[in-house]
Amino acid sequence: MSGRDARVTVAVLGATGAVGQRFVSLLDGHPWFRVTALCASDRSAGKTYGEAARCVLDHPMPDWARDMEVLPCKPGLDAHLAFSGLDASVAGDIEVAFATAGHAVVSNSRNHRMDPDVPLLVPEVNHTHLDLLIEQKKRFPGGGCLVTNPNCSTVGLVMALAPIQAAFGIDRVIVATLQSVSGAGYPGVPAMDILDNVIPHIGGEEEKIESESRKILGAPGKAAGFAISAHCHRVHVSDGHTLAASIKTTRPASPEEAVATLRTFRSPLASLGLPSLPERPVIVREEPDRPQPRFDRMAGAGMTVTVGRVRRCPVLDLRLVALVHNTIRGAAGVALLNAQLPRANGLLG
Ligand SMILES: NC(=O)c1ccc[n+]([C@@H]2O[C@H](COP(=O)([O-])OP(=O)(O)OC[C@H]3O[C@@H](n4cnc5c(N)ncnc54)[C@H](OP(=O)(O)O)[C@@H]3O)[C@@H](O)[C@H]2O)c1
């Protein structure tokens, strides 16, 4: 038996940030991926990762990462895949440069999510949107590509809505979010602003939830037609975004029917053996006071969305609360799953 490591080589762009650190943690000992480069800004390049990354996770960084030298975000690295957790102010150009140079880029940043030829993926919900890569190949003839995942709140919302849409159709949605501080990255929101407080504004977030949800729940290249209104709030929680949604369905749906539909929702990808796929994409809790971030964000190792309080809405039809771990299912975890999906389908080589 040869000792050759057959895992796909990967770079993490924005490796020092909140999402980047989550990537490094989830890639530690990964059966399919091997990290060959950790990249960040010129402020960090040349330092070891241990020096450059101010640890924001509740467990130590892996030893192999601590001693790696942080590299600038320049294409041509020894890495087939590039996972991006770059700040949106720079992600757009850097990600295109990597895709142009032949890297497969799997991004968390908002910059290319709404490009018509870029899949915006939550694999259990819309893996068929990967077909957009066929059109995208014209843009990147060197073999690179761009795949994105949505905003962290959108991931939780669409995972709760997808089974309801499939069973009953969706006419309109109103959603209010309670988003954790880690969603703002590091150092994020100043302590003086968030302690003992709720901030009823997160720049651009409401628009992202509204447009991204429709792209994901529509057909490839054709957004879903339902109306959606989002209200976003930053709250004093470390990790985990809570979403309270009211939904008008196109066909009648009782809360009991909605619960049964959510409970039977299974990933259409279960047979592919993808390492990051949780056993259950969504679980439903019966207790009147769940989900709660502290207790439910790590369901399915952070990859399962927890839904609770499914009940009748006196204005629309249904109400529910959903909880998503924002840096795992809402960011690095879903990106890892996205990268496994095209690999499973042979699109990333
Ligand atoms: N946090 C979440 O829950 C979440 C969820 C979904 C999506 N996202 C998106 O994911 C991306 C990263 O978010 P985050 O929360 O991890 O942010 P963050 O903690 O602020 O990290 C940003 C990263 O970008 C790097 N960077 C900044 N300027 C750069 C430049 N000029 N050149 C190269 N690298 C540069 C930083 O490197 P230095 O350390 O060297 O400055 C750092 O590694 C954002 O686009 C965000 O919107 C975040």
- Condensed to tens digits (0 to 9), the pLDDT of residues 314-344 reads 999 999 999 999 999 999 999 999 999 877 6
Q: What is the mean pLDDT of residues 234-259?
A: 98
Instruction: State the helix-helix crossing angle for 152-168 and 255-264, rounded to 10 degrees.
Output: 110
Q: Is pLDDT of 28 > 50?
A: yes
Of residues 3 and 317, the one with the higher pLDDT is 317
Q: Is pLDDT of 346 > 70?
A: no
Residues with Cβ within 8 Å of residue 300, at least 6 apart in sequence: 278, 279, 280, 283
Q: 251 with 336: CB under 8 angstroms?
A: no
Q: What is the mean pLDDT of residues 117-133?
A: 95
**What letter does residue 329 receive in the DSSP assignment?**
I
Nearest residue CA, atom 4 of ligand 1?
183
Q: Is pLDDT of 3 > 80?
A: no
Exposed/middle/buried for residue 133 (C-beta within 10 Å: 0-12, 13-18, 19+): buried
In degrees, rounded to 5, the angle at the alpha carbon of residue 255 between the alpha carbons of residues 251 and 259 is 105
Q: Is 55 in the pocket of ligand 1 (CB under 6 A)?
A: no
Q: Is pLDDT of 265 > 50?
A: yes
| pLDDT over 90 percentage in the chain | 92
Cα of 190 from ligand 1 centre, angstroms: 17
Q: Is pLDDT of 345 > 90?
A: no
DSSP three-state, residue 3: coil
**Atom nearest to 45 CA in ligand 1:** 40
Residue 4 pLDDT class (50, 70, 90 cuts): confident
> What is the pTM (predicted TM-score) of this model?
0.95
Of residues 156 and 348, the one with the higher pLDDT is 156
Q: Give the separation between CA 318 and CA 320, rounded to whole angstroms.
A: 7
Q: Which of 87, 114, 205 to mutate to test the pocket of ligand 1 (most atoms within 8 A of CB)?
A: 87
DSSP three-state, residue 55: coil
Catalytic residue numbers read 152, 241
Q: Is 158 in the pocket of ligand 1 (CB under 6 A)?
A: no
Q: Which of 3, 73, 69, 31 is nearest to 339 (CA)?
A: 31
